[in-house]
Amino acid sequence: MTHRRRLIMGGLAATLLPRMGLAQTAPGKVPRPEVAFRVPEMNPAVADLVAQVDPARLRADVDALAGFGTRWSEGPGYGAVEDWMAASFAEAGPGGAISRQPVTLPAGMVRNNVLWGDPLDGREVILLGAHLDTTSENPAVSAPGANDNGSGIAAMLEALRILSGQTFTRQIVAVGFTGEEQGLIGSARCAAVATQQRWPVELMVNLDMLGYRPPNPAAPLFIEYDQGNATPANNAAAGAYGQMAVALAGQNTSLATAQTDIWDSDYMPFEAEGFPCIGLYDGGASGPPYHTSGDVPDLMDFGRLEQATRLLVAIMATAAELA
Adjacent-strand bridge partners of 1: none
Q: How far apart are CA 309 and CA 303, in angstroms?
A: 10
Q: Which residue has the higher pLDDT, 270 or 22?
A: 270
Name the nearest CA neighbour of 24 among 272, 236, 321.
236
Beta strand 277-281 with 171-177 is unpaired
Q: Tell me, yes or no, whether 34 lies in a domain.
A: no
Q: Tell me, yes or no, whether 265 lies in a domain.
A: yes
**Average pLDDT of 241-246?**
96
Share of the chain above pLDDT 90, in %: 85
Q: How far apart are CA 211 and CA 228, in angstroms?
A: 27
Q: Tell me, yes or no, whether 18 lies in a domain.
A: no
Q: For the whole model, what pTM was predicted? A: 0.90
Q: Tell me, yes or no, whether 143 lies in a domain.
A: yes
Quote the domain boundaries for residue 127: 39-319
Q: In this structure, what are the phi and psi dihedrals at residue 7, rounded to the nearest 5 degrees?
A: -120, 105
Amino acid identity of 206?
Answer: N
Structure confidence at residue 33 (pLDDT): 41
**Average pLDDT of 150-173?**
97
pLDDT digits (tens, 9 = 90+) for 249-267: 999 999 999 999 999 999 9
Domain count, the chain: 1
Structure confidence at residue 323 (pLDDT): 82
CA distances from 99 to 90, 102, 112, 237 (A): 10, 10, 9, 29
pLDDT at 132 over 70: yes
CA distances from 259 to 41, 99, 239, 246 (A): 20, 34, 10, 8
pLDDT digits (tens, 9 = 90+) for 2-38: 544 333 333 323 333 322 223 333 333 333 444 545 5
Q: What's the CATH number where 163 sits?
A: 3.40.630.10
Which of 63-67, 208-212, 232-236, 296-300 comes out lowest in average pLDDT? 232-236
Q: Tell me, yes or no, whether 224 lies in a domain.
A: yes
Structure confidence at residue 16 (pLDDT): 32
HSE at residue 103, side-chain half, CA atoms within 13 A, is 33
Q: Kindly report the CA angle at 12 between 288 and 217, in degrees rounded to 5? A: 40
Q: Tell me, yes or no, whether 248 lies in a domain.
A: yes
Structure confidence at residue 2 (pLDDT): 55
Residue 165 class from Cβ within 10 Å (0-12 exposed, 13-18 middle, 19+ buried)?
Answer: exposed
Q: 268 pLDDT band (50/70/90 cuts)? A: very high
Q: In this structure, what are the phi and psi dihedrals at residue 273, rounded to the nearest 5 degrees?
A: -85, 0
User: Which helix (H) or strand (E) segment is 206 a member of?
Assistant: strand 201-207
Q: Tell me, yes or no, whether 309 lies in a domain.
A: yes
Structure confidence at residue 93 (pLDDT): 85
Q: Tell me, yes or no, whether 17 lies in a domain.
A: no
